[in-house]
Structures are given as structure tokens and as C-alpha cells.
Amino acid sequence: MRNTSIQQKIIKKFFEARVKNKQNYFVHPSYEMEQKLLQSLSRGLFQEAKLALDAINSQKRATLAKDPVRSLKNSLIGSCTLFTRAIINGGVHPETAYNLSDVFILQIEETNDIESLKQLEYEMLHSFIKTLNDEKRPSYNLVVNKTISFIHDEILNDLSLKRIASFVKVHPNYLSKIFKDEVGISITEYINRKRIEESKYFLLHSDLPISDIAILLGFCNQSYYTRLFKKYTSMTPLQFRNKYFQSMGTND
């Protein structure tokens, strides 16, 4: 009986919303517009996706809460969920996409004015597409693809050549050769680059000391981590962190 009562209440609210929308001449953005946005996103095409989002946002948004700020936050959380699914469909590892989603949902909740929230939706779009394009990988053979996936999954753990070779069930020497031949860099170089990329997340979205981040990512010490970080980004981890927060302050 209780479930029936809940269903009746939901149905009643649904029809009330339809009547209210009709009275206010409100129409949700078309399914085709949404699909155009998501298809552009999953293909990593920022300009096309932005135009689609512009078209959607030129229409009135649905009311998802009595408070306008809360309503917009709810709408952006919905967008974030759709963006997450789109880049997963585009080939991004689900855990990477979900981590990015978590970061933006927290940022949505911490933002409390309408204009900043509207801007944040476009920042989300840019970040999701950048992540997709950064994560796209050429099509390698099965052993190399399995190796890359294993490295991504285990980036915070031990990634010795012996362990990786054991996982993909080939001899370490063979794995080293085929990986270098296909990817163009050694496994060690690939792991270092990936760890530096992962470390950026902790630099920007945690208050962990740089020495702790170095240890977390498996670097032998902060000095070595800093040297590698500068090699790949032309700045130190501290400079990278400070630059980000300075830019955030400029946008406030």
C-alpha cells in the first residue's frame, strides 16, 4: 500500500509539473540537442560541444528546486553526470571519469552565485573534453593495451617490470621491447609520465605536502619527483600548484 501511495504522489507531481510548464510555455531542450552535445563531447570536439551547450543554455532551464542557486546546482550536477558518461563512451577509463566528476560536483556545491555556476558548466565541458583527448590512445596490440590499462589501474602501487610482465603473461624482456617499439618510449618513461599526470590531481585538489604526494605516487624522494615534474611540465610542483590557485583567485 505504501509503495502505491508513493507512486500516486509521484504521478501527481509529474502531471502538475507538466501543467505548470505548459502554462509557462516552458519546453525542455530537445533530445536531439542533448545528443548532439554528448556526441560532440564523446568525440572530443570542444567547439562543436560548446555550440551545442550554447544552444541548450539559450533556452530557459528547468526548475529543479525552489531556490534558484540550488536549482542551477542540481542542473549542473545532471550535466556533470552526462559529461561523465560521454567521455567514458569516448574511451576514458571509468575511474578517471568518475574522479573528475567527483571534483566538479564538489566544486558545484562550493559555488554559490549564479554567474559563477554558469561559467563552471563551460569549465566542466572543457575539462572533460581535455581529459578525453589526453586519455585517447592509439590502437596497440593486445599485450601493450593490457600493459597500459594495468599501469593506469595500478598507478599508485608497485609497477615493476616483473610484476607487469607477470600480469600480461609475457617475458619481461619481450614486454620491454614490444612496448618501446609500439609506444615509442620505454615502460619506465611511460609510468613516470603517467605518475606526473596523476600527481597534478593531488596538487590541485588536496592540501597534501608535496613530499607526501611524491611518496604516494611511488617516487623515491621529493627531489626526484620535482626533477621529473619539471622535465615534463617546465615548472616545479609548487609552481604548478601556486599558478593554479593564483588563476582561481583572478577569476573570483
Distance of CA 159 to the CA centre of its chain: 24
Task: State yes or no: pLDDT of 85 exceeds 90.
Answer: no
Q: How confident is the model at residue 19 (pLDDT cuts 50, 70, 90)?
A: very low
Fold for the domain defined by 142-251: Arc Repressor Mutant, subunit A (1.10.10)
The CA-to-CA distance between both ends of the chain, in Å, stands at 52
Residue 207, Cβ density class (10 Å: 0-12 exposed, 13-18 middle, ≥19 buried): exposed
Mean pLDDT of the chain: 83
Residue ranges covered by each domain of the chain = 30-134, 142-251
What is the reported pLDDT for 247? 60
Vertex 168 angle, CA 164 and 173, to 5°: 65
Instruction: Please list, in sequence order, all residues whose beta carbon lies within 8 angstroms of the beta carbon of residue 21, skipping any fewer than 6 positions away.
Output: 27
Q: How confident is the model at residue 164 (pLDDT cuts 50, 70, 90)?
A: very high
Q: How confident is the model at residue 237 (pLDDT cuts 50, 70, 90)?
A: very high
Amino acid making up residue 109 = E
Query: 236 by DSSP, 3-state: which?
Result: coil
